[in-house]
Amino acid sequence: MLYIANDHAGYELKNKIVEYLQKNNIEFVNLGTDSAESVDFPVFCKKLVAEVIANPENKGVLICGTGIGMSICANRNPKIRAALCKDSKTAKLAREHNDANVLVLAGRSTCKFKAKQIVNTFLKTEALGGKYKRRMEMIDENLQN
């Protein structure tokens, strides 16, 4: 399942992504917020993180003003590999090399057309495994020590 969450600064871009997902029959759950009224992004980030870690097949999309706050918050959980992506190339590499399970977008600087391409690439790209999986396992080992 795909989950999507945002703060007030990501509200407008989220709506464009939701339209894209609906138009392409991509199943998703909107975890809010559903307005441009100021909110605290960690509340919505934590909702998404809980859903993504509930099943290894789940993926997420987080959107805030710069993408940085959501990235920091999401990556506090050792089961989350959130990647702030500015274009399709970084989204592809985030999935292939890092097996990212959460895509983070900057609501204030990502145009809606580019955002749709980034989301599409993120959802269609598989992790490569091999040396990249080994590297992710090395990160997990560091967290346990």
Active site residue 97: yes
Q: What's 106's domain CATH number? A: 3.40.1400.10
pLDDT at 117: 98
Domain that holds residue 33: 2-144
Residue 3 near residue 48 (C-beta atoms within 8 A): yes
Count other C-beta atoms under 10 Å from residue 8's C-beta.
18
Which residues on neighbouring strands pair with residue 83, listed in sequence order?
103
How many domains are contained in the chain? 1
pLDDT at 26: 97
DSSP 8-state class, residue 88: H
Across 128-145, average pLDDT? 80
- Mean pLDDT in the chain? 95
Point out the catalytic residue in the list 86, 92, 97, 133. 97
pTM score of the predicted model = 0.95
Across 60-64, average pLDDT? 98
What is the layout of strands, in order, in the sheet containing 59-64? Answer: 28-30, 2-6, 59-64, 102-106, 82-84
